[in-house]
Amino acid sequence: MKPIWEEEIVYNETVMFVGREDEAPLLYPATEIISVRSYDLKTEYIRGIDYEYNENNNSILMLKDGIMPFMDEEIYYPNRIINGMTFACTNPDRSYIQCSEGSFFCEKQIAVTYRHSGAVIEKPVAQNEAFEKTMQKLKNNERVKILFYGDSITVGANASGYKEVNYPPYADIWAQMVFKSIVKKHGATNAEYINTAVGGWSSGNGLENLDEGVISYAPDAVFLAFGMNDGALTPTQHIKNIRIMIERIWSALPFAEICLVTPMLANAEVKGFYCRQADFEFEYLKLLEDCRKQRQTGLCVANVTKLHKQLLEYKRYYDMTGNNVNHPNDFLSRVYAQAVFQTVCGN
Protein backbone atom coordinates (compact mmCIF):
# COMPACT_ATOMS: atom_id res chain seq x y z
CA MET A 1 0.00 0.00 0.00
CA LYS A 2 1.21 3.50 -0.83
CA PRO A 3 0.15 5.83 2.02
CA ILE A 4 -1.52 9.02 0.86
CA TRP A 5 0.39 11.05 3.46
CA GLU A 6 3.90 9.94 2.39
CA GLU A 7 4.17 9.27 -1.31
CA GLU A 8 4.81 11.93 -3.95
CA ILE A 9 2.35 10.08 -6.19
CA VAL A 10 -1.29 9.47 -5.34
CA TYR A 11 -2.59 6.38 -7.09
CA ASN A 12 -6.17 6.09 -8.34
CA GLU A 13 -7.70 8.83 -6.23
CA THR A 14 -11.39 8.79 -7.10
CA VAL A 15 -13.61 11.68 -8.13
CA MET A 16 -17.11 11.95 -9.56
CA PHE A 17 -18.93 14.54 -11.64
CA VAL A 18 -22.49 15.55 -10.79
CA GLY A 19 -23.57 17.30 -13.96
CA ARG A 20 -21.33 18.11 -16.92
CA GLU A 21 -20.24 21.44 -15.45
CA ASP A 22 -18.99 19.94 -12.20
CA GLU A 23 -15.29 20.34 -11.36
CA ALA A 24 -13.79 17.50 -9.33
CA PRO A 25 -11.16 18.62 -6.78
CA LEU A 26 -8.05 16.57 -6.07
CA LEU A 27 -6.64 16.07 -2.59
CA TYR A 28 -3.22 17.58 -3.35
CA PRO A 29 -2.23 20.27 -5.87
CA ALA A 30 -1.00 18.25 -8.84
CA THR A 31 2.37 18.91 -10.46
CA GLU A 32 1.79 16.20 -13.07
CA ILE A 33 -1.32 14.27 -14.08
CA ILE A 34 -0.04 10.77 -14.79
CA SER A 35 -3.30 9.10 -15.76
CA VAL A 36 -7.07 9.49 -15.58
CA ARG A 37 -8.92 6.20 -15.89
CA SER A 38 -12.34 4.66 -15.49
CA TYR A 39 -13.01 3.15 -12.06
CA ASP A 40 -12.35 -0.34 -13.42
CA LEU A 41 -8.98 1.00 -14.71
CA LYS A 42 -9.68 -0.39 -18.20
CA THR A 43 -10.22 2.91 -20.02
CA GLU A 44 -7.66 5.72 -20.02
CA TYR A 45 -9.02 9.17 -20.77
CA ILE A 46 -7.08 11.68 -22.83
CA ARG A 47 -6.17 15.14 -21.61
CA GLY A 48 -7.40 17.81 -23.99
CA ILE A 49 -10.05 15.49 -25.41
CA ASP A 50 -11.85 13.96 -22.42
CA TYR A 51 -10.67 16.18 -19.58
CA GLU A 52 -8.52 19.09 -18.55
CA TYR A 53 -6.77 19.99 -15.30
CA ASN A 54 -7.51 23.39 -13.78
CA GLU A 55 -4.42 24.49 -11.84
CA ASN A 56 -6.22 27.49 -10.35
CA ASN A 57 -8.57 25.39 -8.25
CA ASN A 58 -6.78 22.01 -8.47
CA SER A 59 -9.61 20.18 -10.19
CA ILE A 60 -10.38 17.86 -13.08
CA LEU A 61 -12.87 19.20 -15.66
CA MET A 62 -14.89 17.16 -18.13
CA LEU A 63 -14.66 18.33 -21.71
CA LYS A 64 -17.87 18.62 -23.71
CA ASP A 65 -17.06 16.01 -26.34
CA GLY A 66 -15.26 13.60 -24.03
CA ILE A 67 -16.39 10.14 -22.95
CA MET A 68 -15.91 10.31 -19.18
CA PRO A 69 -18.91 9.18 -17.10
CA PHE A 70 -20.94 11.55 -14.96
CA MET A 71 -24.20 11.60 -13.03
CA ASP A 72 -26.96 13.97 -14.05
CA GLU A 73 -27.85 16.38 -11.28
CA GLU A 74 -31.50 15.31 -11.62
CA ILE A 75 -30.46 11.73 -10.90
CA TYR A 76 -28.21 12.64 -7.98
CA TYR A 77 -30.93 14.86 -6.49
CA PRO A 78 -34.20 13.30 -7.72
CA ASN A 79 -37.48 15.11 -7.04
CA ARG A 80 -39.31 11.91 -6.14
CA ILE A 81 -38.80 8.78 -4.08
CA ILE A 82 -37.18 5.90 -5.97
CA ASN A 83 -37.68 2.71 -4.00
CA GLY A 84 -34.41 1.50 -2.51
CA MET A 85 -32.36 4.26 -4.13
CA THR A 86 -33.21 7.51 -2.37
CA PHE A 87 -33.23 9.09 1.06
CA ALA A 88 -34.57 12.42 2.23
CA CYS A 89 -31.97 15.14 1.77
CA THR A 90 -30.86 17.57 4.48
CA ASN A 91 -30.14 20.23 1.86
CA PRO A 92 -33.12 22.63 2.10
CA ASP A 93 -32.98 23.19 -1.66
CA ARG A 94 -33.30 19.46 -2.41
CA SER A 95 -35.99 16.89 -1.62
CA TYR A 96 -34.14 13.61 -2.08
CA ILE A 97 -30.63 12.30 -2.67
CA GLN A 98 -29.48 9.27 -4.65
CA CYS A 99 -28.11 6.35 -2.65
CA SER A 100 -27.41 2.85 -3.90
CA GLU A 101 -25.47 -0.29 -3.10
CA GLY A 102 -23.69 -2.45 -5.68
CA SER A 103 -21.65 -0.78 -8.42
CA PHE A 104 -24.03 2.12 -9.12
CA PHE A 105 -21.69 4.84 -7.82
CA CYS A 106 -18.32 3.37 -8.75
CA GLU A 107 -19.45 3.07 -12.38
CA LYS A 108 -19.70 6.87 -12.41
CA GLN A 109 -16.41 7.55 -10.61
CA ILE A 110 -13.00 7.93 -12.22
CA ALA A 111 -9.51 7.24 -10.89
CA VAL A 112 -6.77 9.88 -11.05
CA THR A 113 -3.07 9.15 -10.57
CA TYR A 114 -0.89 12.22 -10.19
CA ARG A 115 2.35 13.60 -8.82
CA HIS A 116 2.29 16.34 -6.20
CA SER A 117 4.53 18.24 -3.82
CA GLY A 118 2.05 19.13 -1.10
CA ALA A 119 1.26 17.56 2.26
CA VAL A 120 -2.23 18.14 3.63
CA ILE A 121 -2.95 14.80 5.31
CA GLU A 122 -1.46 14.19 8.74
CA LYS A 123 0.36 10.90 9.18
CA PRO A 124 -1.38 8.68 11.76
CA VAL A 125 0.56 7.98 14.93
CA ALA A 126 2.36 4.63 14.93
CA GLN A 127 1.53 2.58 18.03
CA ASN A 128 3.59 -0.53 17.25
CA GLU A 129 4.11 -1.35 20.91
CA ALA A 130 0.44 -2.29 21.19
CA PHE A 131 0.93 -5.28 18.87
CA GLU A 132 4.39 -6.41 19.99
CA LYS A 133 3.34 -9.97 20.85
CA THR A 134 1.45 -10.50 17.61
CA MET A 135 4.27 -9.12 15.48
CA GLN A 136 6.88 -11.24 17.26
CA LYS A 137 4.79 -14.36 16.65
CA LEU A 138 4.52 -13.43 12.98
CA LYS A 139 8.30 -12.94 12.76
CA ASN A 140 8.76 -16.38 14.35
CA ASN A 141 6.20 -17.78 11.89
CA GLU A 142 4.12 -19.11 14.76
CA ARG A 143 0.43 -19.72 14.33
CA VAL A 144 -1.42 -16.39 14.65
CA LYS A 145 -5.13 -15.61 14.49
CA ILE A 146 -6.06 -12.08 13.39
CA LEU A 147 -9.75 -11.24 13.75
CA PHE A 148 -11.84 -8.33 12.45
CA TYR A 149 -15.15 -7.53 14.15
CA GLY A 150 -17.46 -4.69 13.19
CA ASP A 151 -20.27 -3.56 10.92
CA SER A 152 -20.86 -3.52 7.15
CA ILE A 153 -17.74 -1.44 6.47
CA THR A 154 -15.64 -4.25 7.96
CA VAL A 155 -17.72 -6.85 6.12
CA GLY A 156 -16.40 -5.09 3.02
CA ALA A 157 -19.13 -2.83 1.69
CA ASN A 158 -18.61 -1.22 -0.88
CA ALA A 159 -15.17 -2.34 -2.05
CA SER A 160 -15.20 -3.48 -5.67
CA GLY A 161 -14.11 -6.97 -4.64
CA TYR A 162 -16.95 -7.27 -2.12
CA LYS A 163 -19.37 -9.99 -3.24
CA GLU A 164 -22.36 -7.63 -3.50
CA VAL A 165 -20.40 -5.22 -5.71
CA ASN A 166 -18.26 -7.64 -7.76
CA TYR A 167 -16.99 -4.98 -10.14
CA PRO A 168 -13.49 -4.42 -11.61
CA PRO A 169 -10.82 -3.93 -10.37
CA TYR A 170 -12.13 -6.32 -7.67
CA ALA A 171 -10.11 -4.66 -4.91
CA ASP A 172 -9.77 -6.27 -1.50
CA ILE A 173 -11.83 -5.00 1.41
CA TRP A 174 -9.88 -2.95 3.95
CA ALA A 175 -9.60 -5.79 6.47
CA GLN A 176 -8.04 -8.10 3.87
CA MET A 177 -5.60 -5.37 2.85
CA VAL A 178 -4.50 -4.92 6.46
CA PHE A 179 -4.10 -8.66 7.03
CA LYS A 180 -2.13 -9.22 3.82
CA SER A 181 0.12 -6.22 4.51
CA ILE A 182 0.90 -7.34 8.06
CA VAL A 183 1.65 -10.89 6.94
CA LYS A 184 3.80 -9.71 4.02
CA LYS A 185 5.79 -7.33 6.23
CA HIS A 186 6.87 -10.21 8.46
CA GLY A 187 7.07 -12.96 5.83
CA ALA A 188 4.60 -15.04 7.82
CA THR A 189 2.95 -18.13 6.35
CA ASN A 190 1.04 -19.40 9.37
CA ALA A 191 -1.42 -16.56 10.00
CA GLU A 192 -5.19 -16.99 9.89
CA TYR A 193 -7.60 -14.28 8.72
CA ILE A 194 -10.96 -14.23 10.53
CA ASN A 195 -13.74 -11.75 9.77
CA THR A 196 -16.90 -12.00 11.87
CA ALA A 197 -18.31 -8.54 11.08
CA VAL A 198 -22.04 -8.25 10.40
CA GLY A 199 -23.73 -5.56 8.31
CA GLY A 200 -26.00 -3.19 10.19
CA TRP A 201 -24.56 -3.99 13.59
CA SER A 202 -24.13 -1.38 16.29
CA SER A 203 -21.66 -1.57 19.17
CA GLY A 204 -24.57 -2.92 21.22
CA ASN A 205 -24.93 -5.85 18.82
CA GLY A 206 -21.20 -6.35 18.96
CA LEU A 207 -21.26 -6.50 22.73
CA GLU A 208 -24.21 -8.92 22.82
CA ASN A 209 -22.48 -11.32 20.44
CA LEU A 210 -18.91 -10.91 21.66
CA ASP A 211 -18.47 -14.48 22.90
CA GLU A 212 -19.50 -15.98 19.57
CA GLY A 213 -17.96 -13.30 17.35
CA VAL A 214 -14.59 -12.87 19.07
CA ILE A 215 -13.80 -14.84 22.21
CA SER A 216 -14.72 -18.27 20.83
CA TYR A 217 -11.98 -17.89 18.19
CA ALA A 218 -9.25 -17.12 20.77
CA PRO A 219 -7.55 -14.59 18.46
CA ASP A 220 -4.10 -13.14 19.07
CA ALA A 221 -5.10 -9.78 17.58
CA VAL A 222 -8.53 -8.16 17.37
CA PHE A 223 -9.62 -5.19 15.27
CA LEU A 224 -12.84 -3.69 16.67
CA ALA A 225 -14.52 -1.36 14.16
CA PHE A 226 -17.92 -0.12 15.30
CA GLY A 227 -19.56 3.29 15.35
CA MET A 228 -21.22 4.01 12.02
CA ASN A 229 -24.52 2.55 13.23
CA ASP A 230 -24.24 4.19 16.65
CA GLY A 231 -25.11 7.68 15.47
CA ALA A 232 -28.14 7.85 17.76
CA LEU A 233 -25.99 7.11 20.83
CA THR A 234 -24.11 9.72 22.79
CA PRO A 235 -20.32 9.39 22.62
CA THR A 236 -20.39 8.26 26.25
CA GLN A 237 -22.91 5.50 25.50
CA HIS A 238 -20.95 4.31 22.48
CA ILE A 239 -17.60 4.20 24.23
CA LYS A 240 -19.11 2.37 27.21
CA ASN A 241 -19.96 -0.54 24.90
CA ILE A 242 -16.45 -0.49 23.44
CA ARG A 243 -14.89 -0.40 26.91
CA ILE A 244 -16.93 -3.40 28.07
CA MET A 245 -15.91 -5.33 24.94
CA ILE A 246 -12.25 -4.67 25.72
CA GLU A 247 -12.66 -5.73 29.34
CA ARG A 248 -14.45 -8.95 28.39
CA ILE A 249 -11.89 -9.84 25.73
CA TRP A 250 -9.00 -9.32 28.14
CA SER A 251 -10.79 -11.22 30.89
CA ALA A 252 -11.13 -14.26 28.63
CA LEU A 253 -7.97 -13.71 26.55
CA PRO A 254 -5.40 -11.80 28.67
CA PHE A 255 -2.75 -11.77 25.94
CA ALA A 256 -4.99 -10.60 23.10
CA GLU A 257 -3.95 -7.32 21.49
CA ILE A 258 -6.69 -4.94 20.35
CA CYS A 259 -6.86 -2.17 17.77
CA LEU A 260 -9.90 0.10 17.93
CA VAL A 261 -10.84 1.52 14.53
CA THR A 262 -12.84 4.74 14.66
CA PRO A 263 -15.51 5.09 11.94
CA MET A 264 -15.56 7.15 8.79
CA LEU A 265 -18.35 9.73 8.69
CA ALA A 266 -21.79 9.33 7.17
CA ASN A 267 -22.98 11.64 4.40
CA ALA A 268 -24.21 14.86 6.01
CA GLU A 269 -26.69 15.36 3.16
CA VAL A 270 -28.52 12.10 3.90
CA LYS A 271 -31.16 12.59 6.56
CA GLY A 272 -30.94 10.28 9.56
CA PHE A 273 -27.40 8.92 9.14
CA TYR A 274 -25.01 11.76 9.98
CA CYS A 275 -25.44 12.07 13.74
CA ARG A 276 -22.86 11.79 16.53
CA GLN A 277 -20.15 9.71 14.82
CA ALA A 278 -17.79 12.67 14.47
CA ASP A 279 -17.87 13.16 18.25
CA PHE A 280 -16.70 9.63 19.08
CA GLU A 281 -13.07 10.40 18.25
CA PHE A 282 -12.28 12.20 21.51
CA GLU A 283 -13.81 9.42 23.60
CA TYR A 284 -11.67 6.79 21.86
CA LEU A 285 -8.51 8.72 22.63
CA LYS A 286 -9.60 9.20 26.24
CA LEU A 287 -10.36 5.48 26.54
CA LEU A 288 -6.90 4.67 25.17
CA GLU A 289 -5.29 6.96 27.73
CA ASP A 290 -7.32 5.42 30.57
CA CYS A 291 -6.48 1.86 29.56
CA ARG A 292 -2.78 2.61 29.22
CA LYS A 293 -2.70 3.81 32.83
CA GLN A 294 -3.82 0.34 33.89
CA ARG A 295 -2.07 -1.74 31.24
CA GLN A 296 1.01 -0.56 29.36
CA THR A 297 0.52 -2.40 26.06
CA GLY A 298 -2.06 -4.28 24.06
CA LEU A 299 -4.37 -1.47 22.91
CA CYS A 300 -4.22 1.16 20.18
CA VAL A 301 -6.58 3.40 18.20
CA ALA A 302 -6.57 3.73 14.41
CA ASN A 303 -8.16 7.14 13.92
CA VAL A 304 -10.00 6.81 10.59
CA THR A 305 -12.46 9.51 11.69
CA LYS A 306 -9.69 12.10 11.77
CA LEU A 307 -8.43 11.10 8.32
CA HIS A 308 -11.91 11.22 6.79
CA LYS A 309 -12.49 14.68 8.28
CA GLN A 310 -9.26 15.86 6.65
CA LEU A 311 -10.19 14.34 3.29
CA LEU A 312 -13.58 16.07 3.38
CA GLU A 313 -11.84 19.43 3.70
CA TYR A 314 -10.57 18.96 0.14
CA LYS A 315 -12.95 16.49 -1.53
CA ARG A 316 -16.71 15.92 -1.73
CA TYR A 317 -18.40 12.98 -0.05
CA TYR A 318 -19.51 11.50 -3.36
CA ASP A 319 -15.92 11.47 -4.66
CA MET A 320 -14.99 8.60 -2.34
CA THR A 321 -18.13 6.75 -1.32
CA GLY A 322 -19.48 3.41 -2.44
CA ASN A 323 -23.16 4.02 -1.63
CA ASN A 324 -23.37 7.78 -0.90
CA VAL A 325 -24.57 7.09 2.65
CA ASN A 326 -22.00 5.44 4.87
CA HIS A 327 -19.73 3.07 2.92
CA PRO A 328 -16.29 3.70 1.38
CA ASN A 329 -15.33 3.02 -2.22
CA ASP A 330 -11.96 1.49 -3.14
CA PHE A 331 -10.03 4.72 -2.58
CA LEU A 332 -11.42 5.31 0.90
CA SER A 333 -11.12 1.59 1.72
CA ARG A 334 -7.40 1.93 1.00
CA VAL A 335 -7.25 4.92 3.34
CA TYR A 336 -8.89 2.76 6.02
CA ALA A 337 -6.29 0.05 5.47
CA GLN A 338 -3.38 2.51 5.38
CA ALA A 339 -4.49 4.11 8.65
CA VAL A 340 -4.87 0.78 10.44
CA PHE A 341 -1.60 -0.64 9.10
CA GLN A 342 0.30 2.53 10.03
CA THR A 343 -1.15 2.33 13.55
CA VAL A 344 -0.01 -1.23 14.26
CA CYS A 345 3.04 -1.53 11.95
CA GLY A 346 4.08 2.03 11.15
CA ASN A 347 7.17 4.12 11.69
Mean pLDDT for the stretch of residues 234-239: 98
Residue-wise pLDDT for 179-212, tens only, equals: 999 999 999 999 999 999 999 999 999 999 999 9
Q: Which pLDDT does position 189 carry in this prediction?
A: 96
Count Cβ neighbours within 10 Å for each residue of 102-111 and write b for 16 or more, e otherwise: bbbbbebbbb
For residue 221, which of 187, 190, 249 has the smallest C-alpha distance?
249
Yes or no: say if 164 and 102 are a contact pair by the CB < 8 Å rule. yes
The CA-based angle 39-198-343, given to 5 degrees, is 70
Residue-wise pLDDT for 273-296, tens only, equals: 999 999 999 999 999 999 988 887
Mean pLDDT for the stretch of residues 247-265: 98
Residues 347, 327: Cα–Cα separation, whole Å: 28
Q: Which pLDDT does position 241 carry in this prediction?
A: 99
Three-state DSSP class for 310?
helix
Residues 94, 269: Cα–Cα separation, whole Å: 10
For residue 79, what pLDDT band results from cuts at 50, 70 and 90? Answer: very high
Residues 72, 74: Cα–Cα separation, whole Å: 5
Residue-wise pLDDT for 115-157, tens only, equals: 998 878 999 999 999 999 999 999 999 999 999 999 999 999 9
Q: Which pLDDT does position 120 carry in this prediction?
A: 85
- DSSP-derived secondary structure for 193-250: EEE---TT--HHHHHHTHHHHTGGG--SEEEEE--GGGTTS-HHHHHHHHHHHHHHHH
Sign of the CA dihedral running 228, 230, 231, 236: negative
Burial tier of 60 (Cβ tally within 10 Å: 0-12, 13-18, 19+): buried
Three-state DSSP class for 260?
strand
In this predicted structure, the answer to whether residue 38 has a pLDDT above a threshold of 90 is yes
DSSP bridge pairs for 194:
147
Least confident of 8-22, 45-59, 206-220, 284-298: 284-298
In this predicted structure, the answer to whether residue 160 has a pLDDT above a threshold of 90 is yes
Q: Which pLDDT does position 119 carry in this prediction?
A: 79
Q: Which pLDDT does position 121 carry in this prediction?
A: 92
What's the chain's average pLDDT? 97
For residue 155, which of 193, 196, 191, 205 has the smallest C-alpha distance?
196
Q: Which pLDDT does position 297 carry in this prediction?
A: 84
Mean pLDDT for the stretch of residues 220-241: 97
Q: Is the pTM of this model over 0.95?
A: yes
Mean pLDDT for the stretch of residues 150-172: 97
For residue 25, what pLDDT band results from cuts at 50, 70 and 90? Answer: very high
For residue 7, what pLDDT band results from cuts at 50, 70 and 90? Answer: confident
Q: Which pLDDT does position 293 carry in this prediction?
A: 86
Amino acid (1-letter code) at residue 187: G
Q: Which pLDDT does position 300 carry in this prediction?
A: 97
pLDDT > 90: percent of the chain: 95
Name the strand (E) or helix (H) holding 343: helix 330-345
Residue-range domains of the chain with CATH = 9-116 (no CATH), 128-345 (3.40.50.1110)
Q: Which pLDDT does position 132 carry in this prediction?
A: 96
For residue 84, what pLDDT band results from cuts at 50, 70 and 90? Answer: confident
